[in-house]
Structure formats: C-alpha cells, structure tokens
Structure 1
C-alpha cells in the first residue's frame, strides 16, 4: 500500500508527495506538527497540514530570507528572526561575519526540538555563539522593542492561526519602531497565484510606513504554486542600490550576487500587485 501526503492549497488544487513513513506527530499548544519522510524531498515539516520546509528545497527559502537583507544593510550587527523555528534562517545569518548577534523568537518550542532531531542539516546553528533563542511570542517581542535591531526577518507560517497578526498593519508599525534609524525588515508574503489580495494589501501597508518598499520572488517547489514572494520595508537602504563592495563570498546554493537584483524583476501580473 502506498502512503501519500496532500496539502490542499485551495479548494480546488493541492500538492502531493509519496511518504515513506511518519517520523513524528504532535498537537502542540499552537498547531498540529508532523514530521514526514518523503520519497522525493527527504524529511518534511508540516504545520496544520501546510508544508513548512523540506530537506531538498529548503535552501532556496532560507537563503533568500537571509542574504537579500543582510547584503542590503551595510552594517547588520543585530538581527532578529521572528518564527523560523526550523533554524534554517539563522544558519544562513551566521555566515555573515559582520553579524554580532542574531535573536530567534519562536512561539512553538516543539518546532525547534523536532527540527533539531529530524532536520539536523537545517537546524545546525542553534549552538552558534552568536545565536540567542527565545521561546515566546514574536508579536509581543516586537511590540516591546525600540530601535533594537538593524535587520528583522519575519519567517512566519502562512496567515493562519498564531501567524495571522504578523500580516497586519499594526505589526509593520511595530517593526518600524523596533528597527534602528536605518533598519530594514523582510517578511515572507505568500504566493501571487492564490494570495494576490494578501500581497497587494501587505505591500500597501508597508509602503505607508517605510520609505523604501520592495517585492521580490524565489522558486520554492513545495510551496503553493512554487512562486514565492518576500516583501522588504527599509528606512534608508535600497536593495537595488547596494554598493558592489558589500558583496562577499559565502557558501550558497541559490542566492548569488547577480540574483540579488534579478529577484526584484517581477512578472507583470506580480508587479501589478505593487501599484
């Protein structure tokens, strides 16, 4: 008998993967967590039935969350990651020598523990001396912070459950207060095929708060539609005007110096969401 996992991404469309076995399942205080071993993508983490990351394609998302903002900001000494309990973003952040400290605030400690056990190549930087881990509410952490961070990365789930408030205008206002005078943030903002209205609203809200607002994309095969967007709000630094001297060699599989700016070249139907 074959076992298949299906994520129903809309009422009429889904993605499916053949499963070798279930590694772990837990009803945490916040969501249903499953760790699955798949034939095609290796170990896969799902939350509330949605794919969060897989061993095979995780590098795309994590590199594009981390390196685009860190090469945009000239002095990213203090970094905050909201969510990201699988550890992939902080793994990429600590590759930057100018980063002195990265704080990860993850609301669900079970995500961290299961990732350490079943996704060790992703969750490899939790013991790095630069990393501080807080199991707590990222929304409240932002609300209580003032001019504390150079760069903030919002690595949330899709806007359901505890992540809904991370897609609201009030949260982006909080991000602005938590950032230093030349700070910037980046947030994953879902896909343009099924969530166009969400992207349009987020971009509009961020643009009202931050002088520089940019949208960029990446290809993540196991995410809905495969085309994923990220929204950046910046007080001063424009990702399209990065000084060439800022780029230095780091080990990547997806992100490159040329791709940094190319990712901001949008298909017209996506560009239209920013108008």
Structure 2
C-alpha cells in the first residue's frame, strides 16, 4: 500500500511526499504534531498538516535565518529566539563561541519534546548550557524586555493559528524595544509566490518598516516550502546586511555550513523584480 502525505500549497496546488511510516502523531493544546518517515526527505515534522522541516532540506532554512545576521553584526552575545521548536536555529547559533546566552521561547512544549525524541538532527543542541527554554507566548515574553538582546530571530509558523500574534505591529514594536541600539531582527517572511502567502509577506514587511531604519528582505530556495521560493526579513537599528558584512572575518571562524556562505549572503538580497514590486506596494511613497 502506498502512503502519501499531501499539503495544500494554495487552493489550486497540492504538494505530496511518499511516506514509509507514520512515526508519531499527537495533539497538543495548540496544534496537531506528526513525524513522518519518508524515502526522499528523511524524517518530516508537520504541524496542523503543514511541513515545518525535513531532515533533507532543513539546513537551508536554519542556516539562512541565523548566519546572515551573525556575519553582519560581529559582537552578538545575547540572542532571543521565538518559536523554533525543532531546535535547528539554536543548533546553528551555538556554533558561535562568542554567543553567551540564547533565550528560546516556544509556546508549545510538546513540539520540543517530540523533536528531541524524533528529530535529533535539529534538536540535539537544545541542551547546550547557554540555551534557556521558556514555554510561553513569545508576544507576552518580549513585551517585558527592554534594551536586552543583540539579535532576535522570529522562527515562527505561518500568520494564523499559534503563530498569528507574531505578525502584528505590536509584536514588532516590542521587538524593537527589546533590542539593544545595535540590535537586529530576523524573521521568516513567508513566500512571495502564491497569493495568500504573498499577502502575509507584504503585511509583515509593512509593519516592520514602521519601526526599523534598515529593513530589507532576502530570499532562499527551500524545496518543501510552498513554491520553493521563501523570504526572510532583516531589520536593524544600525547594521546594513551588505555594507557591514565582514566576509573574511566570518570565513576565519571556520564554521561548517552546507548552504550559507558570504557570497550567498550578498546574492540573497538581489530580489526578482516581481518581489521588488510587491514590496514597493507597501513601502512609504517618497
């Protein structure tokens, strides 16, 4: 019998992955959590029927949400990660000996527990002594912080369900306040390709631009995400992601990456015209 997992990427498009075995299924207070064993992508984590990460392509997402900021700001010591229950973002951050503290706020403890058991490839570094886990609402957590973090990474689910509050104007304003005067905010920014995803992307960009003097968008190719074309937001109080990149200093760290390098860093900010037009739609007219 052939088993297939299918996700709707748009009302008119489906994406299917052949499944060898359904390893885990559970319902938390917030969402349905499943782990699938697949022949092409290895183990796959889905939340509410949407692919969050797979063993085969997770490195692309996690490296690009982490290393772009780390290569831009050389003195990041205190980091806040919101979401990221699979642990992949933290795994990339702990590669830096200069980071002293990582606060990770995940609303759903069951996601972390399941990933620790079934997805050690991403979750194995959550036990690093510099990592402090908080199982609460990221919106409420960041509200209480001021001038504390050098970097905030918002590794959230889509702008509905448990992740909805992480796409609001209030949330981005609180992130701005929680950052130091040299602080950087990086967030997963949805896809520009399908209409519904593009709407979420434009709304997020518009809200972030209202707070940060530097607000850019960069792109990445992730095979299992809708359309494969995905965006991240880079917002900063001081550092420009291109002008302030010190490629030789980052290369000198000798970190092992499979996707990220300083040339990809620069190239990822060169956006297709259709995406530039979408962003221009919500940028203030001069």
Structure 2 length-normalised TM: 0.94
Give runs of aligned pairs for residues 72-91 of structure 1, distance below 5 A: 72-91=72-91
- Contact 1:103-1:134 at 8 Å conserved across structures: yes
Structure 1 counterpart SS, 2:124: coil
Q: Which residue among 243, 247, 252 is the counterpart of 2:246?
A: 243
- Count of residues in Structure 1 that have an aligned counterpart in Structure 2: 275
| Structure 2 residue 94 is the aligned partner of structure 1 residue 94 | yes
Give runs of aligned pairs for residues 76-225 of structure 1, distance below 5 A: 76-194=76-194, 195-225=197-227
Q: Per-residue deviation at 1:249?
A: 2.3
Q: Which blocks of at least 5 consecutive residues in structure 2 are unaligned?
A: 281-286
Inter-partner Cα distance in structure 2 for 1:64 and 1:123: 17
| Structure 2 residue 257 is the aligned partner of structure 1 residue 252 | yes
Inter-partner Cα distance in structure 2 for 1:124 and 1:82: 18
Aligned to 1:9: 9
Aligned to 2:283: none
- Contact 1:199-1:273 at 8 Å conserved across structures: no
Q: Per-residue deviation at 1:245?
A: 4.5
Inter-partner Cα distance in structure 2 for 1:183 and 1:245: 22
Q: Per-residue deviation at 1:243?
A: 3.1
Inter-partner Cα distance in structure 2 for 1:245 and 1:15: 40
Per-residue CA deviations over 1:32-87 (Å, capped at 9, x if unaligned) read 11111111100000001100000000000000011011111121100010000110
Give the 4+ runs in structure 1 shifted more than 4 A.
none
Aligned to 2:230: 228
Q: Which blocks of at least 5 consecutive residues in structure 1 are unaligned?
A: none
| Structure 2 residue 267 is the aligned partner of structure 1 residue 265 | no
**RMSD in angstroms over aligned alpha carbons?**
1.0
- Contact 2:34-2:46 at 8 Å conserved across structures: yes
Structure 1 counterpart SS, 2:227: coil
Inter-partner Cα distance in structure 1 for 2:126 and 2:199: 35
Inter-partner Cα distance in structure 2 for 1:245 and 1:147: 29
Inter-partner Cα distance in structure 2 for 1:122 and 1:199: 26
Structure 1 length-normalised TM: 0.98
